Structure 1
Amino acid sequence: MSVTAFRATEPSAAEQARSVLAAAGSLTVSTDGYRCDLVGRHILDGKGRLWLRLPADGHLAARVACAPRGALAALLAFTDVAPIAVRDRVRSRLTLSGWLTVEDAEADSEAEVDSVDLRLDLARVTLETAAGAVDVGLDELVLAEADPLTAFEARMLTHLADAHPDAVAELTRLVDPRHLHGVVRVWPLALDRYAITLRLEHARSHHDVRLPFPTPLREANQITRQIQTLLALARTCPRRRRPVTRP
Protein backbone atom coordinates (compact mmCIF):
# COMPACT_ATOMS: atom_id res chain seq x y z
CA MET A 1 0.00 0.00 0.00
CA SER A 2 1.39 3.39 -0.97
CA VAL A 3 1.04 6.60 0.96
CA THR A 4 -1.15 7.85 -1.90
CA ALA A 5 -3.77 5.27 -0.91
CA PHE A 6 -4.65 7.32 2.16
CA ARG A 7 -6.98 10.25 2.12
CA ALA A 8 -4.62 13.18 2.65
CA THR A 9 -5.79 15.64 5.29
CA GLU A 10 -3.95 18.55 6.86
CA PRO A 11 -4.55 21.22 9.47
CA SER A 12 -5.79 24.51 8.07
CA ALA A 13 -3.39 27.45 7.93
CA ALA A 14 -5.22 28.98 10.90
CA GLU A 15 -4.83 25.77 12.93
CA GLN A 16 -1.15 25.62 12.07
CA ALA A 17 -0.74 29.23 13.14
CA ARG A 18 -2.45 28.61 16.47
CA SER A 19 -0.24 25.57 17.02
CA VAL A 20 2.92 27.58 16.34
CA LEU A 21 1.79 30.28 18.77
CA ALA A 22 0.96 27.71 21.43
CA ALA A 23 4.25 25.81 21.10
CA ALA A 24 6.66 28.71 20.65
CA GLY A 25 8.81 29.65 23.60
CA SER A 26 10.33 32.71 21.98
CA LEU A 27 9.73 35.36 19.35
CA THR A 28 11.34 38.36 17.71
CA VAL A 29 9.73 41.80 17.88
CA SER A 30 10.63 44.39 15.25
CA THR A 31 9.53 48.02 15.28
CA ASP A 32 10.83 51.11 13.52
CA GLY A 33 14.51 51.17 14.43
CA TYR A 34 14.32 48.57 17.19
CA ARG A 35 14.45 44.79 17.39
CA CYS A 36 14.55 42.37 20.32
CA ASP A 37 14.18 38.68 21.08
CA LEU A 38 11.78 37.68 23.85
CA VAL A 39 11.69 34.34 25.67
CA GLY A 40 8.63 33.20 27.59
CA ARG A 41 6.96 36.59 27.35
CA HIS A 42 3.95 36.03 25.08
CA ILE A 43 0.48 34.89 26.08
CA LEU A 44 -2.34 33.80 23.78
CA ASP A 45 -5.73 34.16 25.41
CA GLY A 46 -8.91 32.22 24.73
CA LYS A 47 -10.09 34.84 22.24
CA GLY A 48 -7.01 34.50 20.06
CA ARG A 49 -5.46 37.76 21.25
CA LEU A 50 -1.73 37.93 21.80
CA TRP A 51 -0.14 39.74 24.72
CA LEU A 52 3.41 40.49 25.75
CA ARG A 53 4.14 40.70 29.46
CA LEU A 54 7.31 42.78 29.83
CA PRO A 55 9.24 44.60 32.53
CA ALA A 56 7.61 47.98 33.07
CA ASP A 57 10.95 49.75 32.80
CA GLY A 58 11.98 47.92 29.60
CA HIS A 59 12.85 49.64 26.33
CA LEU A 60 9.99 48.16 24.30
CA ALA A 61 7.36 49.06 26.90
CA ALA A 62 8.70 52.61 26.97
CA ARG A 63 8.56 52.89 23.17
CA VAL A 64 4.93 51.78 23.15
CA ALA A 65 4.00 54.18 25.94
CA CYS A 66 5.61 57.08 24.06
CA ALA A 67 4.21 56.18 20.64
CA PRO A 68 1.69 58.54 19.00
CA ARG A 69 -1.81 57.68 20.26
CA GLY A 70 -0.22 54.98 22.39
CA ALA A 71 0.05 52.48 19.52
CA LEU A 72 3.33 51.25 18.05
CA ALA A 73 3.47 49.41 14.71
CA ALA A 74 5.25 46.11 15.24
CA LEU A 75 6.07 42.82 13.56
CA LEU A 76 6.22 39.66 15.68
CA ALA A 77 8.03 36.67 14.18
CA PHE A 78 7.80 33.07 15.42
CA THR A 79 9.87 30.16 14.14
CA ASP A 80 8.72 26.55 14.37
CA VAL A 81 11.85 24.41 14.74
CA ALA A 82 11.85 20.61 14.58
CA PRO A 83 12.93 19.01 17.87
CA ILE A 84 14.98 16.43 15.95
CA ALA A 85 18.42 17.43 14.66
CA VAL A 86 17.60 17.11 10.96
CA ARG A 87 18.81 19.24 8.09
CA ASP A 88 16.92 22.52 7.76
CA ARG A 89 15.13 22.25 11.10
CA VAL A 90 12.81 25.21 10.43
CA ARG A 91 9.39 23.73 9.67
CA SER A 92 7.47 26.99 9.42
CA ARG A 93 7.62 30.69 10.15
CA LEU A 94 4.75 32.80 11.43
CA THR A 95 4.63 36.58 11.33
CA LEU A 96 2.02 38.78 12.99
CA SER A 97 1.86 42.47 12.19
CA GLY A 98 -0.21 45.08 13.96
CA TRP A 99 -0.05 47.66 16.73
CA LEU A 100 1.16 47.21 20.27
CA THR A 101 -0.74 49.12 22.94
CA VAL A 102 -0.37 49.24 26.71
CA GLU A 103 -3.16 47.43 28.50
CA ASP A 104 -4.63 49.16 31.53
CA ALA A 105 -2.99 47.51 34.54
CA GLU A 106 -6.23 47.82 36.52
CA ALA A 107 -7.94 45.53 34.01
CA ASP A 108 -5.73 42.61 35.03
CA SER A 109 -5.56 41.97 38.74
CA GLU A 110 -2.98 39.23 38.19
CA ALA A 111 -0.49 41.49 36.48
CA GLU A 112 2.82 41.87 38.26
CA VAL A 113 3.38 45.31 39.72
CA ASP A 114 6.76 45.61 37.98
CA SER A 115 5.47 44.43 34.60
CA VAL A 116 3.29 45.80 31.85
CA ASP A 117 1.02 44.00 29.40
CA LEU A 118 1.19 44.96 25.74
CA ARG A 119 -1.71 43.90 23.53
CA LEU A 120 -1.17 43.23 19.84
CA ASP A 121 -4.05 44.50 17.70
CA LEU A 122 -3.64 42.33 14.63
CA ALA A 123 -3.57 43.64 11.09
CA ARG A 124 -2.08 40.69 9.21
CA VAL A 125 -0.97 37.11 9.87
CA THR A 126 1.28 35.21 7.45
CA LEU A 127 2.28 31.55 7.67
CA GLU A 128 5.26 30.34 5.66
CA THR A 129 5.87 26.63 5.15
CA ALA A 130 7.68 24.51 2.59
CA ALA A 131 4.56 24.84 0.43
CA GLY A 132 4.82 28.64 0.37
CA ALA A 133 3.44 31.64 2.23
CA VAL A 134 -0.27 32.21 2.91
CA ASP A 135 -2.19 34.92 4.71
CA VAL A 136 -4.34 33.68 7.58
CA GLY A 137 -7.71 35.34 8.06
CA LEU A 138 -7.96 37.13 11.39
CA ASP A 139 -11.40 35.68 12.12
CA GLU A 140 -10.15 32.22 11.18
CA LEU A 141 -7.25 32.59 13.61
CA VAL A 142 -9.61 33.51 16.45
CA LEU A 143 -11.89 30.54 15.76
CA ALA A 144 -9.12 28.00 15.22
CA GLU A 145 -7.67 25.79 17.93
CA ALA A 146 -4.16 24.52 18.39
CA ASP A 147 -3.56 20.89 17.47
CA PRO A 148 -4.19 18.55 20.43
CA LEU A 149 -0.64 17.19 20.05
CA THR A 150 1.03 20.59 20.24
CA ALA A 151 2.09 20.37 23.88
CA PHE A 152 3.41 16.81 23.49
CA GLU A 153 4.78 16.73 19.94
CA ALA A 154 8.43 17.45 20.73
CA ARG A 155 8.59 14.74 23.40
CA MET A 156 6.80 12.21 21.18
CA LEU A 157 9.07 12.84 18.19
CA THR A 158 12.20 12.61 20.31
CA HIS A 159 10.97 9.36 21.82
CA LEU A 160 10.25 7.88 18.39
CA ALA A 161 13.68 8.87 17.06
CA ASP A 162 15.62 7.69 20.13
CA ALA A 163 13.70 4.63 21.30
CA HIS A 164 11.94 3.31 18.18
CA PRO A 165 14.14 3.91 15.11
CA ASP A 166 13.13 0.53 13.67
CA ALA A 167 9.46 1.49 13.82
CA VAL A 168 10.19 4.77 12.06
CA ALA A 169 12.04 2.90 9.32
CA GLU A 170 9.16 0.41 9.10
CA LEU A 171 6.77 3.26 8.27
CA THR A 172 8.69 3.93 5.04
CA ARG A 173 7.01 0.81 3.62
CA LEU A 174 3.94 3.06 3.26
CA VAL A 175 5.89 5.51 1.10
CA ASP A 176 5.85 5.34 -2.69
CA PRO A 177 9.02 3.42 -3.64
CA ARG A 178 10.01 6.20 -6.05
CA HIS A 179 10.54 8.52 -3.08
CA LEU A 180 12.86 6.07 -1.32
CA HIS A 181 15.50 5.88 -4.03
CA GLY A 182 18.79 7.11 -2.60
CA VAL A 183 17.42 7.70 0.90
CA VAL A 184 20.08 7.13 3.57
CA ARG A 185 18.24 8.29 6.70
CA VAL A 186 14.67 8.76 7.84
CA TRP A 187 13.49 10.81 10.81
CA PRO A 188 10.12 11.62 12.38
CA LEU A 189 9.76 15.31 11.58
CA ALA A 190 6.26 16.33 12.71
CA LEU A 191 3.06 15.07 14.28
CA ASP A 192 -0.41 16.52 14.12
CA ARG A 193 -3.91 15.17 14.58
CA TYR A 194 -4.06 14.12 10.95
CA ALA A 195 -0.68 12.55 10.19
CA ILE A 196 2.94 11.87 10.95
CA THR A 197 5.51 13.51 8.68
CA LEU A 198 8.77 11.77 7.89
CA ARG A 199 11.95 13.50 6.75
CA LEU A 200 13.69 11.43 4.07
CA GLU A 201 17.34 12.41 3.81
CA HIS A 202 19.48 11.76 0.76
CA ALA A 203 23.23 12.26 0.67
CA ARG A 204 22.88 15.91 -0.36
CA SER A 205 19.16 16.69 -0.21
CA HIS A 206 15.97 15.76 1.57
CA HIS A 207 12.21 15.75 1.22
CA ASP A 208 9.24 15.17 3.50
CA VAL A 209 6.26 12.83 3.22
CA ARG A 210 3.05 12.78 5.24
CA LEU A 211 1.48 9.52 6.32
CA PRO A 212 -2.13 10.36 7.22
CA PHE A 213 -3.82 8.46 10.02
CA PRO A 214 -6.92 6.43 9.09
CA THR A 215 -8.98 8.91 11.12
CA PRO A 216 -7.95 12.22 12.69
CA LEU A 217 -7.37 11.95 16.40
CA ARG A 218 -9.33 14.08 18.86
CA GLU A 219 -7.11 13.72 21.93
CA ALA A 220 -3.38 13.31 22.43
CA ASN A 221 -3.78 9.94 24.16
CA GLN A 222 -5.01 8.44 20.88
CA ILE A 223 -1.64 8.85 19.16
CA THR A 224 -0.21 5.46 20.21
CA ARG A 225 -3.11 3.60 18.63
CA GLN A 226 -2.81 5.67 15.43
CA ILE A 227 0.91 4.92 15.09
CA GLN A 228 0.27 1.24 15.77
CA THR A 229 -2.39 1.21 13.05
CA LEU A 230 0.05 2.66 10.54
CA LEU A 231 2.67 0.11 11.54
CA ALA A 232 0.18 -2.71 11.07
CA LEU A 233 -0.61 -1.40 7.59
CA ALA A 234 3.09 -1.06 6.83
CA ARG A 235 3.70 -4.71 7.68
CA THR A 236 1.19 -5.77 5.03
CA CYS A 237 3.21 -3.96 2.35
CA PRO A 238 6.02 -5.59 0.35
CA ARG A 239 9.31 -5.41 2.25
CA ARG A 240 11.80 -2.96 0.77
CA ARG A 241 15.29 -1.98 1.78
CA ARG A 242 14.73 0.33 4.71
CA PRO A 243 16.73 3.53 5.12
CA VAL A 244 18.87 3.79 8.22
CA THR A 245 17.71 6.17 10.92
CA ARG A 246 21.02 7.30 12.37
CA PRO A 247 24.18 8.82 10.87
Structure 2
Amino acid sequence: MGDSQGWTAAPSAAERARSALAAAWSCAVTADGGREEFVGAHSVTEDGRVLLEAPEDSRLLAAAICAPRGETSAVLEFADAAPVPVRSRIRARLWMAGWFVPEDGRLAFRTTRVVLRGASGAVVVDPDEFAAAAPDPLATAEARLLTHLADCHADAVERLTRLVDPDSLHGAVRVQPLAVDRHGLTLRIERVRSHGDVRLAFHAPADDVTRLTERMHVLLTQAAASCPRALQRQRTDGDG
Protein backbone atom coordinates (compact mmCIF):
# COMPACT_ATOMS: atom_id res chain seq x y z
CA MET A 1 0.00 0.00 0.00
CA GLY A 2 1.32 3.46 -0.85
CA ASP A 3 0.34 6.80 0.63
CA SER A 4 0.26 10.04 -1.29
CA GLN A 5 2.49 12.92 -0.32
CA GLY A 6 3.18 15.92 -2.49
CA TRP A 7 6.75 16.07 -3.86
CA THR A 8 8.44 16.45 -7.20
CA ALA A 9 12.19 16.05 -6.74
CA ALA A 10 13.25 12.45 -7.17
CA PRO A 11 16.04 10.45 -8.82
CA SER A 12 15.43 9.00 -12.27
CA ALA A 13 14.95 5.28 -12.80
CA ALA A 14 18.49 5.04 -14.20
CA GLU A 15 19.90 6.81 -11.14
CA ARG A 16 17.91 4.58 -8.78
CA ALA A 17 19.20 1.52 -10.60
CA ARG A 18 22.80 2.73 -10.40
CA SER A 19 22.34 3.53 -6.69
CA ALA A 20 21.00 0.05 -5.97
CA LEU A 21 23.97 -1.42 -7.80
CA ALA A 22 26.48 0.83 -6.01
CA ALA A 23 25.18 -0.12 -2.56
CA ALA A 24 24.72 -3.84 -3.20
CA TRP A 25 27.12 -6.20 -1.44
CA SER A 26 25.84 -9.41 -2.99
CA CYS A 27 24.25 -10.58 -6.21
CA ALA A 28 22.55 -13.66 -7.60
CA VAL A 29 23.55 -14.92 -11.04
CA THR A 30 21.39 -17.19 -13.14
CA ALA A 31 23.32 -18.78 -16.00
CA ASP A 32 23.67 -22.12 -17.76
CA GLY A 33 20.52 -23.41 -16.10
CA GLY A 34 21.75 -22.76 -12.55
CA ARG A 35 21.69 -20.00 -9.95
CA GLU A 36 24.59 -18.92 -7.71
CA GLU A 37 24.85 -16.37 -4.94
CA PHE A 38 28.01 -14.25 -4.76
CA VAL A 39 28.79 -12.16 -1.68
CA GLY A 40 31.42 -9.44 -1.79
CA ALA A 41 32.66 -10.74 -5.13
CA HIS A 42 31.71 -7.98 -7.54
CA SER A 43 32.81 -4.44 -8.28
CA VAL A 44 31.29 -1.76 -10.49
CA THR A 45 33.05 0.51 -12.98
CA GLU A 46 32.17 4.18 -13.51
CA ASP A 47 29.98 3.28 -16.49
CA GLY A 48 28.04 0.65 -14.54
CA ARG A 49 29.80 -2.49 -15.77
CA VAL A 50 29.86 -5.33 -13.26
CA LEU A 51 33.14 -7.19 -12.75
CA LEU A 52 32.83 -10.50 -10.92
CA GLU A 53 35.57 -12.42 -9.10
CA ALA A 54 34.11 -15.91 -9.36
CA PRO A 55 35.74 -18.63 -7.22
CA GLU A 56 37.51 -21.46 -9.01
CA ASP A 57 34.79 -23.97 -8.13
CA SER A 58 32.04 -21.71 -9.45
CA ARG A 59 29.67 -23.20 -11.98
CA LEU A 60 29.50 -19.83 -13.68
CA LEU A 61 33.27 -19.70 -14.17
CA ALA A 62 33.29 -23.18 -15.67
CA ALA A 63 30.49 -22.21 -18.04
CA ALA A 64 32.36 -19.07 -19.13
CA ILE A 65 35.54 -21.01 -19.82
CA CYS A 66 33.69 -23.65 -21.82
CA ALA A 67 31.41 -21.29 -23.75
CA PRO A 68 31.92 -21.69 -27.53
CA ARG A 69 32.56 -17.97 -28.13
CA GLY A 70 33.81 -17.25 -24.64
CA GLU A 71 30.48 -15.62 -23.78
CA THR A 72 27.97 -16.85 -21.20
CA SER A 73 24.47 -15.37 -21.18
CA ALA A 74 23.25 -14.58 -17.68
CA VAL A 75 20.86 -12.58 -15.55
CA LEU A 76 22.14 -10.71 -12.49
CA GLU A 77 19.80 -9.85 -9.63
CA PHE A 78 20.47 -7.32 -6.89
CA ALA A 79 18.15 -6.71 -3.94
CA ASP A 80 17.86 -3.21 -2.50
CA ALA A 81 17.01 -3.85 1.15
CA ALA A 82 16.16 -1.18 3.70
CA PRO A 83 18.93 -0.93 6.32
CA VAL A 84 16.35 -0.28 9.07
CA PRO A 85 14.09 -3.19 10.12
CA VAL A 86 10.70 -2.56 8.55
CA ARG A 87 7.86 -4.60 7.13
CA SER A 88 8.49 -5.60 3.47
CA ARG A 89 12.15 -4.74 3.75
CA ILE A 90 13.08 -5.18 0.07
CA ARG A 91 12.62 -1.71 -1.44
CA ALA A 92 13.49 -2.69 -5.00
CA ARG A 93 15.05 -5.39 -7.15
CA LEU A 94 17.42 -4.78 -10.03
CA TRP A 95 17.81 -7.27 -12.88
CA MET A 96 20.52 -7.01 -15.52
CA ALA A 97 20.51 -9.34 -18.53
CA GLY A 98 23.51 -9.83 -20.79
CA TRP A 99 26.56 -12.02 -20.94
CA PHE A 100 29.87 -12.60 -19.18
CA VAL A 101 33.25 -12.60 -20.90
CA PRO A 102 36.61 -13.39 -19.27
CA GLU A 103 38.64 -10.22 -18.76
CA ASP A 104 41.94 -9.87 -16.86
CA GLY A 105 41.25 -12.88 -14.66
CA ARG A 106 37.71 -11.77 -13.90
CA LEU A 107 34.30 -12.06 -15.51
CA ALA A 108 33.11 -8.82 -17.08
CA PHE A 109 29.38 -8.45 -17.62
CA ARG A 110 28.06 -6.78 -20.76
CA THR A 111 24.55 -5.51 -20.14
CA THR A 112 21.82 -5.65 -22.78
CA ARG A 113 18.72 -5.09 -20.62
CA VAL A 114 18.09 -3.44 -17.25
CA VAL A 115 14.86 -3.73 -15.25
CA LEU A 116 14.17 -2.06 -11.92
CA ARG A 117 11.15 -3.16 -9.89
CA GLY A 118 10.04 -1.02 -6.98
CA ALA A 119 6.85 -0.39 -5.05
CA SER A 120 5.22 1.29 -8.06
CA GLY A 121 6.03 -1.51 -10.50
CA ALA A 122 8.74 -2.49 -12.98
CA VAL A 123 10.60 -0.02 -15.20
CA VAL A 124 12.81 -0.92 -18.15
CA VAL A 125 15.91 1.28 -18.08
CA ASP A 126 17.70 2.07 -21.31
CA PRO A 127 21.20 0.52 -21.13
CA ASP A 128 22.83 3.72 -22.43
CA GLU A 129 21.01 5.82 -19.83
CA PHE A 130 22.04 3.30 -17.19
CA ALA A 131 25.69 3.56 -18.23
CA ALA A 132 25.59 7.36 -18.31
CA ALA A 133 23.79 7.80 -14.98
CA ALA A 134 25.64 8.27 -11.70
CA PRO A 135 24.61 6.65 -8.42
CA ASP A 136 23.17 8.94 -5.79
CA PRO A 137 26.02 10.61 -3.85
CA LEU A 138 24.54 9.28 -0.59
CA ALA A 139 24.01 5.71 -1.82
CA THR A 140 27.00 4.09 -0.14
CA ALA A 141 26.48 6.05 3.10
CA GLU A 142 22.69 5.55 3.24
CA ALA A 143 22.74 2.45 5.48
CA ARG A 144 24.86 4.17 8.11
CA LEU A 145 22.83 7.38 7.94
CA LEU A 146 19.43 5.69 8.28
CA THR A 147 20.40 3.31 11.07
CA HIS A 148 21.86 6.23 13.02
CA LEU A 149 18.67 8.22 12.50
CA ALA A 150 16.48 5.32 13.62
CA ASP A 151 18.63 4.22 16.57
CA CYS A 152 19.74 7.57 17.97
CA HIS A 153 17.13 10.10 16.84
CA ALA A 154 13.75 8.40 17.06
CA ASP A 155 12.37 11.64 18.51
CA ALA A 156 13.40 13.49 15.36
CA VAL A 157 11.69 10.87 13.16
CA GLU A 158 8.50 11.30 15.16
CA ARG A 159 8.78 15.07 14.91
CA LEU A 160 9.03 14.79 11.11
CA THR A 161 5.61 13.16 11.01
CA ARG A 162 4.19 16.65 11.59
CA LEU A 163 5.01 17.25 7.91
CA VAL A 164 2.96 14.23 6.79
CA ASP A 165 -0.64 14.48 5.64
CA PRO A 166 -2.85 13.45 8.60
CA ASP A 167 -4.71 10.91 6.45
CA SER A 168 -1.46 9.02 5.89
CA LEU A 169 -0.95 8.72 9.65
CA HIS A 170 -4.38 7.27 10.35
CA GLY A 171 -3.92 4.04 12.32
CA ALA A 172 -0.12 4.40 12.39
CA VAL A 173 1.65 2.34 15.06
CA ARG A 174 5.26 2.97 14.00
CA VAL A 175 7.21 5.25 11.66
CA GLN A 176 10.72 4.43 10.48
CA PRO A 177 13.14 6.06 8.03
CA LEU A 178 13.03 3.91 4.90
CA ALA A 179 15.29 5.65 2.38
CA VAL A 180 17.25 8.81 1.78
CA ASP A 181 18.79 10.28 -1.35
CA ARG A 182 20.01 13.69 -2.43
CA HIS A 183 16.43 14.79 -3.14
CA GLY A 184 14.60 13.73 0.02
CA LEU A 185 13.80 11.39 2.90
CA THR A 186 11.21 8.60 2.71
CA LEU A 187 9.36 7.42 5.81
CA ARG A 188 7.69 4.02 6.20
CA ILE A 189 4.39 4.31 8.09
CA GLU A 190 3.35 0.97 9.56
CA ARG A 191 -0.16 0.12 10.67
CA VAL A 192 -1.42 -3.07 12.29
CA ARG A 193 -2.16 -4.81 8.99
CA SER A 194 -0.71 -2.51 6.34
CA HIS A 195 1.94 0.06 5.63
CA GLY A 196 2.63 2.99 3.33
CA ASP A 197 5.47 5.30 2.39
CA VAL A 198 5.63 9.09 2.29
CA ARG A 199 8.41 11.26 0.95
CA LEU A 200 9.67 14.51 2.43
CA ALA A 201 11.47 16.48 -0.27
CA PHE A 202 14.48 18.64 0.51
CA HIS A 203 14.36 22.28 -0.55
CA ALA A 204 17.63 21.74 -2.45
CA PRO A 205 19.72 18.69 -3.33
CA ALA A 206 22.06 17.24 -0.70
CA ASP A 207 25.17 16.21 -2.58
CA ASP A 208 27.12 15.15 0.50
CA VAL A 209 26.59 14.31 4.16
CA THR A 210 27.26 17.88 5.29
CA ARG A 211 24.52 19.21 3.03
CA LEU A 212 22.23 16.37 4.11
CA THR A 213 22.62 17.46 7.73
CA GLU A 214 21.60 20.99 6.77
CA ARG A 215 18.61 19.75 4.77
CA MET A 216 17.44 17.62 7.71
CA HIS A 217 17.69 20.62 10.02
CA VAL A 218 15.46 22.57 7.64
CA LEU A 219 12.85 19.79 7.69
CA LEU A 220 12.96 19.60 11.48
CA THR A 221 12.57 23.39 11.73
CA GLN A 222 9.54 23.19 9.46
CA ALA A 223 8.15 20.35 11.56
CA ALA A 224 8.62 22.34 14.78
CA ALA A 225 6.47 25.11 13.32
CA SER A 226 3.68 22.67 12.38
CA CYS A 227 0.79 21.49 14.50
CA PRO A 228 1.15 18.02 16.07
CA ARG A 229 -0.23 15.31 13.80
CA ALA A 230 -2.21 12.21 14.59
CA LEU A 231 0.80 10.16 15.64
CA GLN A 232 1.86 12.66 18.30
CA ARG A 233 -1.71 13.00 19.55
CA GLN A 234 -2.05 9.22 19.79
CA ARG A 235 1.15 9.00 21.84
CA THR A 236 0.05 11.84 24.10
CA ASP A 237 -3.37 10.29 24.68
CA GLY A 238 -1.76 6.95 25.41
CA ASP A 239 0.54 8.49 28.03
CA GLY A 240 -2.44 9.92 29.78
Give the TM-score, by structure 1 length. Answer: 0.89
Q: Do 1:70 and 1:101's aligned partners in 2 also have CA atoms closer than 8 Å? A: yes
How do 1:108-123 residues align onto structure 2 when only pairs under 5 Å count? 116-123=105-112
Q: Is the 8 A contact 1:43 1:52 kept in 2?
A: yes
1:242 Cα deviation (Å)? 2.4
Structure 2 contact 32–60 (Cα < 8 Å) conserved: no
- Counterpart of 1:210 in structure 2 is 199
Match of 1:173 in 2: 162
List alignment gaps of at least 5 residues for structure 1. Answer: 106-115
Which residue in the other structure is 2:238 paired with? Answer: none
- The CA RMSD over aligned residues, in Å, is 1.5
Say how many residue pairs are matched. 230
Instruction: Confirm or deny that 1:157 pairs with 2:146.
Output: yes
Question: 1:126 — aligned with what?
Answer: 115
* Aligned position for 1:33: 33
User: What letter corresponds to residue 229 of structure 2 in structure 1?
Assistant: R
Which residue type is aligned with residue 183 of structure 1?
A: A
State the partner residue of 1:197.
186
Contact 2:166 2:230 in 1 (8 A): no
SS state at 1:214 partner: coil
* Pairs within 5 Å for 1:59-138: 59-103=59-103, 105=104, 116-138=105-127
SS of residue matched to 2:205: coil
- Check if 1:14 corresponds to 2:14: yes
| Per-residue deviation, 1:3 | 5.2
Contact 1:170 1:242 in 2 (8 A): no
Aligned to 1:219: 208
Match of 1:113 in 2: none
Displacement of 1:28 in angstroms is: 0.3
Using a 3 Å threshold, how does the CA distance of structure 1 residues 58 and 175 change in structure 2: closer, same or farther?
Answer: same
Check whether the contact 1:191–1:197 (CA below 8 A) recurs between aligned residues.
yes
Deviation of 1:46 after TM superposition, in Å, equals: 1.7
Structure 2 unmatched runs, 5+: 236-240
Question: Distance between the aligned counterparts of 2:129 and 2:209, measured in 1?
Answer: 23
TM-score by length of 2: 0.92
1:228 maps to a residue whose letter is H
Q: Is this contact kept in 1: 2:91–2:118, CA < 8 A?
A: yes
Question: 1:230: which partner in 2?
Answer: 219
Q: CA deviation at 1:221?
A: 2.0
Could you tell me how far 1:71 is from its partner in structure 2? Answer: 0.8
1:81-102 Cα offsets, whole Å, 9 max, x none, are 0011110000000000001111
Q: Percent identity?
A: 49
Tell me the alpha carbon deviations over residues 29-59 of structure 1, each in whole angstroms, 9 at most, x when there is no partner: 0013211000011111122211111234532
Please give the alpha-carbon distance, in whole angstroms, between the structure 1 residues aligned to 2:8 and 2:159.
20
Moved more, 189-198 or 51-60: 51-60
Task: Say if 2:32 and 2:63, in contact at 8 Å, map to a contact too.
Answer: no
Question: Which aligned runs of 4 or more in structure 1 are off by greater than 6 angstroms?
Answer: none
Give the alignment partner of residue 171 of structure 2, picking from 182, 206, 216: 182
Matched with 2:44 is 44
Q: Which moved more, 1:175-184 or 1:215-224?
A: 215-224
- Give the letter aligned to residue 51 of structure 2: W
